[in-house]
């Protein structure tokens, strides 16, 4: 197999995995916005007044990133947004760990069991971030 | 700017995706029965020199129903000696807002465990209580704010006799008052 074919196959696999992941991650947040707002508030980084608008907007950004990656439109921008948003999430989780906050992560499902902020979540996010950056790089001049 | 420049292209497309997401989110929030007010509503509670903003993550429909029920009460702080009085006379219900693990390790006898993170505005336990039932909420101590948050939530549900015990579990324990262990009140 040619080197370029291998690279594009990897890019397609990463794109589909990340697309599905982001679409899945957005579902609970859209269904239970007040629960997601509470999770955002618990990170104690945003002014109280802005928590709701974030809880309303962020899941829909994830939806569109997911859809774009799955159907393969504007992959560069979707991957860029995915990387940016994942970078912010990772930073927030690390900051919560260092501040000793034992709070729900709000990463994928909003179920309290097993989704608390932890280094495991940080590692997951770093993998997602690497995948996102790979897609940005791969689609940079396409 | 050159439209073939990758930086410009990614920036332009990202802004488009953001704007589409913004429009869809606002529209969905508007028509959804679980839609939230755009600006988070909160209650201000003063304790000493500090003012706490306690957010109320309730749907618009919930707030609309509530606004027709009339007067809003503000929860008050309660001191240890009064907490003890209510404990000895069984004149108030205690709500432990810490997580289940901490509750199991030790709590005020007869206290119900309702961790703040799993608080449900439609909780069955609460719906069985009379609205003028005396309720005292507590968490670990002055460092935590769950007791205040819970007190505000209870007032929002229409309870008129709610107090938060800010010194909480630490002071109760240090004072040598009775404690219970295990997951039962």
* Contact call for B29 and A48, based on CB within 8 A: no
Average the pLDDT over each of A104-113, B86-95, B168-177 and give the range with the smallest value: A104-113
Domain spans of chain A, in order of start: 3-138
Mean pLDDT for A106-134 is: 86
Q: Out of B6, B35, B39, name the one closest to residue A141 (CB).
A: B6
- Residue B68's pLDDT is 47
In this complex, which of A32, A57, A136 lies closest to B25 when CB atoms are compared?
A57
A140 touching chain B per CB within 8 A = yes
Contacts of B145 (CB under 8 A, 6+ apart): B52, B54, B139
What ipTM was predicted for this assembly? 0.90
Per-residue pLDDT at B70: 47
**What residues of B are in contact with residue A33 (Cβ under 8 Å)?**
29, 32, 34-36, 59
Considering chain B, what percentage of its residues have pLDDT values greater than 70?
86
pLDDT digits (tens, 9 = 90+) for B83-119: 999 999 999 999 999 888 889 999 999 999 988 777 7
User: What is residue B41's DSSP assignment?
Assistant: P
Whether residue A49 and residue B40 make contact (CB cut-off 8 A), yes or no, is yes
The single residue listed with the structure tokens 């940016």 is A84
Q: Is the pLDDT of residue B123 over 90?
A: no
Nearest CB among B13, B39, B55 relative to A77 is that of: B13
Is A49 at the interface with chain B, CB within 8 A? yes
pLDDT attached to residue A61: 97
Q: What is the mean pLDDT of residues B37-57?
A: 77
Residue A6: is its pLDDT beyond 70?
A: yes
Which pLDDT score, from 0 to 100, does residue B116 have?
Answer: 79
Residue B64 has pLDDT above 80, yes or no: no
Average pLDDT over chain A, rounded to an integer:
90
Give A84's Cβ-side CA count (13 Å radius): 14
Which chain A residue shows the shortest CA-CA distance from B9?
A: A77
Mean pLDDT of chain B: 83
Please report the DSSP string for A31-79 in residue order: H-HHHHHHHHHHT--S-GGGHHHHHHHHHHHHHHHHHHHHHTSSHHHHH
Q: Is A128 left (phi over 0), alpha (psi -120 to 50) or beta?
A: alpha
Mutate to test the interface with B, among A19, A29, A40, A74 (most CBs of B within 10 A): A74
Identify which has the larger pLDDT, A110 or B98: B98
Contacts A41 to B, Cβ<8 Å: 40, 55, 57
Q: Where are the alpha helices (DSSP H) in chain B?
A: 6-31, 60-67, 80-88, 100-105, 124-127, 146-156, 168-174
Contact B138, B106 (CB under 8 A): no
DSSP symbol at A1 = -
Q: Which residue of A has its CA nearest to B10?
A: A77
Mean pLDDT of all residues in B131-154 = 86
Residue A35 touches partner B, C-beta closer than 8 Å: yes
Q: What percent of chain A has pLDDT over 70?
A: 94
pLDDT for residue B72 is more than 60: no
B118 CB neighbours in chain A (<8 A) are 112
- Confidence (pLDDT) at A66: 96
Q: Could you read off the pLDDT of A30-85 as tens digits, one per residue?
A: 998 988 998 898 888 999 889 999 999 999 999 999 999 999 999 999 999 999 99
Instruction: Indicate the pLDDT class of residue B63, thresholds 50, 70 and 90.
Output: low
CB contact under 8 Å between A34 and B55, yes or no, is: no
The pLDDT of residue B73 is above 70: no
* Secondary structure tally for chain B: helices H, strands E: 7, 7
Using the predicted structure, report yes or no on whether residue B74 has a pLDDT greater than 60.
Answer: yes
Q: Of the candidates A50, A56, A136, which has its C-beta nearest B36's C-beta?
A: A56
CB contact under 8 A, B10 and A60: no
Pairing, β B42-47 against β B50-55: antiparallel
């Amino acid at each position: 197999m040619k080197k370029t074919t291998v690279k594009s196959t990897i890019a397609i696999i990463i794109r589909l995995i990340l697309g599905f992941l982001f679409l899945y991650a957005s579902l609970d947040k859209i269904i239970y916005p007040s629960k997601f707002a509470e999770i955002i508030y618990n990170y104690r980084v945003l002014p109280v007044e802005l928590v709701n608008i974030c809880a309303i907007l962020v899941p829909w950004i994830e939806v569109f990133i997911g859809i774009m990656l799955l159907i393969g439109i504007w992959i560069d921008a979707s991957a860029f947004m995915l990387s940016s948003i994942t970078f912010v999430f990772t930073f927030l989780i690390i900051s919560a760990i260092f501040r000793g906050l034992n709070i729900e992560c709000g990463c994928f499902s909003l179920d309290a069991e097993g989704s608390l902020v932890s280094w495991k979540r940080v590692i997951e996010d770093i993998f997602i971030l690497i995948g996102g950056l790979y897609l940005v790089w791969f689609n940079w001049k396409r | 700017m050159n439209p073939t420049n990758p930086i410009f292209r990614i920036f332009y497309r990202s802004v488009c995706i953001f704007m589409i997401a913004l429009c869809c989110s606002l529209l969905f929030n508007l028509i959804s029965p679980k839609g939230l007010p755009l600006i988070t509503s909160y209650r201000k509670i003063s304790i000493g020199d500090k003012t706490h903003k306690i957010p109320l993550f309730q749907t618009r429909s919930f707030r609309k129903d509530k606004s027709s029920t009339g007067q809003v009460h503000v929860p008050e702080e309660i001191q240890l000696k009064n907490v003890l009085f209510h404990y000895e006379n069984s004149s108030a219900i205690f709500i432990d807002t810490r997580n289940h693990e901490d509750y199991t390790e030790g709590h005020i006898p007869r206290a119900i465990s309702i961790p703040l993170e799993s608080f449900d505005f439609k909780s069955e336990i609460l719906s069985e209580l009379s609205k003028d039932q005396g309720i005292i909420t507590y968490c670990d101590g002055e460092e935590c704010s769950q007791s205040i948050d819970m007190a505000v939530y209870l007032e929002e549900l229409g309870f008129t006799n709610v107090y938060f015990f800010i010194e909480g579990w630490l002071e109760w324990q240090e004072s040598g008052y009775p404690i219970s262990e295990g997951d039962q009140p």
